[in-house]
Amino acid sequence: MSHTEDRYNVKETEAAWQAEWERRGTFRAVEHADRPKYYVLEMFPYPSGRIHMGHVRNYTLGDVVARYKKARGFNVLHPMGWDAFGLPAENAAIQNNVHPAKWTRENIAAMREQLKSMGLSYDWGREVATCEPEYYRHEQKMFLDFLEAGLVYRRESWVNWDPVENTVLANEQVIDGRGWRSGAAVEKRLLSQWFLRITAFADELLEALTDLERWPDRVRLMQENWIGRSEGARVRFALEGRIDGLEVYTTRPDTLFGASFCAIAANHPLAAELAADNPALAEFVAECNRMSTSEAAIETAEKKGFATGLLALNPVRPEQRLPVYVANFVLMEYGTGAIFGCPAHDQRDFDFARKYGLPIVPVVAPPGMDPAGVTVGDAPYTGDGLLVNSGFLNGKTVPEAKRAVIDRLEAEGVGERSVNYRLRDWGVSRQRYWGCPIPIIHCAKCGIVPVPEQDLPVVLPEDVTFDKPGNPLDHHPTWKDVACPTCGAPARRETDTFDTFFESSWYFARFCSPQVSDRPFDRAAADYWLPVDQYIGGIEHAVLHLLYSRFFTRAMKQCGYLGVDEPFAGLLTQGMVCHETYRGEEGRWLFPSDVAKTADGGLIEATTGRPVTVGRVEKMSKSKKNVVDPEHIIGTYGADTARLFMLSDSPPERDLEWTDAGVDGAWRYVNRLWRMVGDALASGALPPAGAAAPAEVSERAVAVRRATHKTIAAVTEDLERFHFNKAVARVRELTNLLSERLSAGVDGPGEPWALREGLEAAVRLFGPMMPHLAEELWRRLGHEDLLADTDWPTAEPALLVESLVTVAVQVNGKLRGTVDLPVDVDRAAAEQAALALGPVAAAMAGKTPRKVIVVPNRIVNVVV
């Protein structure tokens, strides 16, 4: 580690420091009640087999935060684990005839080695894999606790069903209405499933968003929209010739007088009843049921309706008869599964009315329009205004009319105020093998019986086969046969497993004490570490994973597991890693590693020399082959180079384009820094490590010290705000200056000391970003201790203040010059100095200033 070489030996150096950190247990986390804690967590990966650049970016960001906070004196918890249940393992099993457990465990082993080569400051002693019974047994217990607490229930719900594979399909497995593997037309099917009552916390989850101040606004907004709280009314329409009525939910009860139809969901009980003796309607309902369950598919499909022949009586206009349709865009899950349509003031209702020739009656006059002459143009009007054609509501504003009409409906007993949420309860049943078994037993006599606590965990059997369509747990010869815990009669195990979001909804708590086996985690440890201070991951998890975790935390609290409401106090959502795409002849996608550059800068296929077309920069994906293997990059340039590039080119929230040139640039910088420190030491000009500051310091040396301390202050601020790219730029600026001074020849009182201070500052500031190089240089600079155990540098305030400041001078907002002024000079003096500038006088063309705006230490603007 300490010989003099001309080139930086990355491989040896990085491996040596990784071994040293591990040997010393540098990153082991231990609870210290007297020290401030800081919990840094990156979203744990699905063990797909190899890490990808998205992981490298995510974990680099987290590692910078973890190492920085450690240097700032925090007791840091920075764990890593594996989100190890999921579909890809089953797909691999089917395609490659390898057992999901074996596949997953091998992937974990491979990826662990890859992550270790990045030099991440994890406490590997806390590693967890969610597919192991030691982990998932606890969520089985939690599920039973939730059941007892009334947070779990069972009901029927619709799924995408592949009739050939005999299996439920994920939305992403449904392509154009067909199963991705079988190609069979997908059907909707009703299955009995377990649900978690997330809607019980809808208001709380919504309101608590306000306090998540360290979450990005857009994520909070996305969750707000997802929860989708709306205030409206439930309105009951009588049905002509029937004793039952139709209850609809609406956010626009003010437009009731403009209603021209009602529509119900295809799976509304009324639709089912009517379809029983109406084959055409039955066919229409069946057609709706063939649509995917995804909202995007439903919303983009052509809006269709089927007139049932039923007529509904408008409660505010009893003489009016509204046709009742079954419509493919009405969702049973939302509101009451029935709506009334007011075409004049809603786009979808408008389209529907146009299509089926229904009346379009305006009932809201836009502001400024004559209420008497309101007509409907090419588009519905959805804004505020005054009610017209609406009986007792005429002349009221939209909000007034809402209040008035609901009051009337309530008085007449035909409706009431109602708050509705778009949020639906969380269906957690999956008809899949590679997941956590749901600890329930079905008994013919006793019904649904929870697995007794002493029988937990229900272990997922590994002796299963994938040769038949459907769920292997179902085909297992013996596993599901069990005696009923209540009556002892033969009974059957639940063969569904949990949604894999279940595992990721509490892993952050497990990390607090992964070693305990009789509970999910130790309460005291959770009380010490939680909430996670900084969570880092992709924006694609902005809603589901983060909302489920927020819900789960509340559910765990309600059951006494922990004491916090919110799992993640701070959130950073990183952008994607992108790369150019390449196609060869015949349009085949090519890996970047298959593409070579010709002398004139053109691109060819490396092996054949045939031409290559360059496509757009897109998210790295296997399908387009625009991927770069992190292992290859780390093997060639080292982890620090990869980390530096990840940090320096783009702010973390934005997408990052991976380029060879960028990596080369980072690599050159790593070597430049290494050389610069080596040369400085070899020159013998620097004082030894720890030397006291000299009494006399020249102006030149003070200038270096100012630059050093300004950099320390700025980088500290940048890291606090996650502006890593700016932090890198600033240290580079400092090392550019130091390099200049070093090559100019060190001289004058105090300069060698100032240069050492500068070099050490650069090394320390880079510590969280390029830990191996920084650790190596720190040692070479003569320090015995580890940089990883060294405190963050502090800026001396006296060196941050300047006596002069450059002030811009504008005439009518246009820059005409600058002037150097003492800091905080009075306005009159600033104005005088500005007016004295030649170009300023020229631009004023002899006119007298009408006004002079002076912003102290910034700008003087002369208005003429």
Partner RNA sequence: GCCCGCUUGACGGAAUGGUAGACGUAGCGGACUUAAAAUCCGCGGCCCUACGGCGUGGGGGUUCGAGUCCCCCAGCGGGCACCA
Could you say which residues in the range 757-796 bind RNA, by CB under 7 A? none
Binders of RNA in range 632-671 (CB under 7 A): 648-651, 654-657, 659, 661-662, 664-665, 668-669, 671
Closest contact distance (angstroms) between CB of 344 and RNA is 16
Q: Which of 499, 757, 760, 775 binds RNA (CB under 7 A)?
A: 499
For residue 172, state whether it binds RNA (rule: CB under 7 A).
Answer: yes
Q: How far apart are the first and last CA of the chain?
A: 68
Q: Which of 562, 725, 787, 792 binds RNA (CB under 7 A)?
A: 725
Contact 544, 551 (CB under 8 A): no
Residue type (1 letter), 714: A
Q: What does the chain come to in residues?
A: 864
For residue 278, state whether it binds RNA (rule: CB under 7 A).
Answer: no
Q: Which of 279-287, 534-542, 562-570, 704-712 is the region at the interface with RNA (rule: CB under 7 A)? A: 534-542
Contact 810, 831 (CB under 8 A): no
Nearer to RNA, 33 or 661 (CB): 661
Nearer to RNA, 403 or 424 (CB): 424
**674-679 own/partner pairs: CB under 8 Å, 24+ apart:** 674/8, 674/773, 674/776, 674/777, 675/8, 676/735, 676/738, 676/739, 676/742, 676/759, 677/759, 677/763, 677/777, 677/780, 677/781, 678/4, 678/780, 679/742
Give me the residues paired with residue 230 across strands. 420
Q: Which of 140-148, 494-502, 698-706, 795-803 is the region at the interface with RNA (rule: CB under 7 A)? A: 494-502
Closest contact distance (angstroms) between CB of 784 and RNA is 30
Per-residue contact string for residues 832-851; x = within reach of RNA by CB under 7 A: -------x--x--------x
Closest contact distance (angstroms) between CB of 809 and RNA is 8
Nearer to RNA, 740 or 785 (CB): 740
For residue 418, state whether it binds RNA (rule: CB under 7 A).
Answer: no
Which whole-number Å values give the CA distances from 655 to 625, 664, 717, in the listed order? 18, 19, 23
Q: In terms of Cα–Cα distance, which of 16, 15, 13 is closest to 671? A: 13
Tell me, what DSSP letter sits at residue 223?
A: H
Q: In terms of Cα–Cα distance, which of 101, 29, 36, 144 is closest to 511? A: 29
Q: Which of 483, 691, 815, 829 binds RNA (CB under 7 A)?
A: 815
For residue 88, state whether it binds RNA (rule: CB under 7 A).
Answer: yes
Closest contact distance (angstroms) between CB of 146 and RNA is 17
Q: Which of 355, 619, 622, 827 binds RNA (CB under 7 A)?
A: 619
Binders of RNA in range 546-585 (CB under 7 A): 576
Dihedral of CA atoms 61, 67, 71, 76 in degrees, nearest 10, equals: 110
Q: In terms of Cα–Cα distance, which of 330, 335, 333, 153 is closest to 229? A: 335
Q: Residue 732, SS3?
A: helix
3-state secondary structure 471-493: CHHHHCCCCCEEECCCCCCEEEE
Q: Which of 170-178, 248-256, 281-289, 480-488 is the region at the interface with RNA (rule: CB under 7 A)? A: 170-178
Q: In terms of Cα–Cα distance, which of 197, 199, 179, 196 is closest to 187? A: 179
Nearer to RNA, 405 or 809 (CB): 809
Q: Which of 29-37, 171-179, 313-321, 559-567 is the region at the interface with RNA (rule: CB under 7 A)? A: 171-179
Closest contact distance (angstroms) between CB of 740 and RNA is 6
For residue 429, state whether it binds RNA (rule: CB under 7 A).
Answer: yes
Residue 736 dihedral angles phi and psi, to the nearest 5°? -60, -45
Q: Which of 79-87, 264-272, 521-529, 624-632 is the region at the interface with RNA (rule: CB under 7 A)? A: 79-87
Following DSSP, what letter does each residue of 582-642 receive, concatenated? EE-GGG-EE-GGGEEE-TTS-EEETTT--B-EEEEEEE--TTTT----HHHHHHHH-HHHH
Binders of RNA in range 4-33 (CB under 7 A): none
Q: Which of 97-105, 369-377, 756-764, 855-863 is the region at the interface with RNA (rule: CB under 7 A)? A: 855-863
CA 253 to chain centre: 36
**Parallel, antiparallel or unpaired: strands 261-264 and 338-341:** antiparallel
Nearer to RNA, 308 or 861 (CB): 861
* Sign of the Cα pseudo-torsion (388, 389, 390, 394, in order): positive
Binders of RNA in range 599-618 (CB under 7 A): 618
Q: Which of 5, 176, 203, 217 binds RNA (CB under 7 A)?
A: 217
* Sign of the Cα pseudo-torsion (561, 564, 570, 571, in order): positive
Nearer to RNA, 178 or 523 (CB): 178
Q: Which of 143-151, 224-232, 314-322, 465-473 is the region at the interface with RNA (rule: CB under 7 A)? A: 224-232
Q: Quick one: 371 exposed, middle or buried, by C-beta within 10 A (0-12, 13-18, 19+)?
A: middle
For residue 160, state whether it binds RNA (rule: CB under 7 A).
Answer: yes
Contact 596, 611 (CB under 8 A): no
For residue 806, state whether it binds RNA (rule: CB under 7 A).
Answer: yes
Q: Which of 132-140, 467-475, 562-570, 734-742 is the region at the interface with RNA (rule: CB under 7 A)? A: 734-742
For residue 87, state whether it binds RNA (rule: CB under 7 A).
Answer: yes
Closest contact distance (angstroms) between CB of 422 and RNA is 4
Q: Which of 193, 308, 534, 553 binds RNA (CB under 7 A)?
A: 193
For residue 354, state whether it binds RNA (rule: CB under 7 A).
Answer: no
Closest contact distance (angstroms) between CB of 220 and RNA is 10
Following DSSP, what letter does each residue of 261-308 receive, concatenated? EEEE-TTSHHHHHHHTT-HHHHHHHHHHHHS-S-HHHHHHSPP-EEEE
H/E run at residue 156: strand 152-162
For residue 810, state whether it binds RNA (rule: CB under 7 A).
Answer: yes
Closest contact distance (angstroms) between CB of 278 and RNA is 29
Q: CB-based contacts of 257: which residues, under 8 Å, 6+ apart?
A: 314, 316, 317, 361, 363, 387, 389, 390, 391, 393
For residue 544, state whether it binds RNA (rule: CB under 7 A).
Answer: yes
State the number of binding residues for RNA (CB under 7 A).
Answer: 100
Contact 141, 520 (CB under 8 A): yes
Closest contact distance (angstroms) between CB of 23 and RNA is 33
Q: Which of 82-90, 245-253, 559-567, 792-800 is the region at the interface with RNA (rule: CB under 7 A)? A: 82-90
Nearer to RNA, 241 or 846 (CB): 846
CA 390 to chain centre: 46
For residue 416, state whether it binds RNA (rule: CB under 7 A).
Answer: no
Q: Which of 34-42, 627-635, 705-713, 811-819 is the region at the interface with RNA (rule: CB under 7 A)? A: 811-819
Nearer to RNA, 691 or 804 (CB): 804
Residue 306 dihedral angles phi and psi, to the nearest 5°? -130, 120
**Parallel, antiparallel or unpaired: strands 152-162 and 167-169:** antiparallel
Q: Which of 322, 423, 590, 759 binds RNA (CB under 7 A)?
A: 423
Binders of RNA in range 281-340 (CB under 7 A): 293-296, 299-300
Binders of RNA in range 704-723 (CB under 7 A): 723
Nearer to RNA, 296 or 801 (CB): 296
What is the residue whose two structure tokens read 């649509």?
291
For residue 104, state whether it binds RNA (rule: CB under 7 A).
Answer: no
